[in-house]
Amino acid sequence: MSSVFEAAMLLCFGAAWPVSIYKSWKSRTTAGKSLVFLIIIELGYLSGIAYKLTGACDYVIAFYVLNAAMVLVDIALYGRNAAVLRGQENP
């Protein structure tokens, strides 16, 4: 039964990532983003995956993987946006 609550938590957290990714894609800036924060969140999801893989594996791992993938996309967009901003500073 506790897996249901864990899945609900991950779904709630995961609901924010598509919005964050969309804003990163459209804005082409790193303003309002923290790479350190994104990396910490990614490490948290990877820790959840590791926990699931070491003995508590159930369907909830899919939510950890999905969220980790979305954060990874946001990290990649942060890198792209930082490169775009660097290019604008040095024309």
Q: Break the chain into its structural domains and give their ranges.
A: 2-89
Which percentage of the chain shows pLDDT scores above 70?
A: 97
Q: Using the predicted structure, report yes or no on whether residue 22 has a pLDDT greater than 90.
A: yes
Q: Using the predicted structure, report yes or no on whether residue 63 has a pLDDT greater than 90.
A: yes
Per-residue pLDDT at 2: 76
2-89 has which CATH code? 1.20.1280
- Taking alpha carbons only, the member of 91, 87, 60, 75 closest to residue 25 is 75
| 0.75 surpassed by pTM | yes
Per-residue pLDDT at 43: 98
Calculate mean pLDDT across residues 63-89.
95
HSE at residue 28, side-chain half, CA atoms within 13 A, is 6
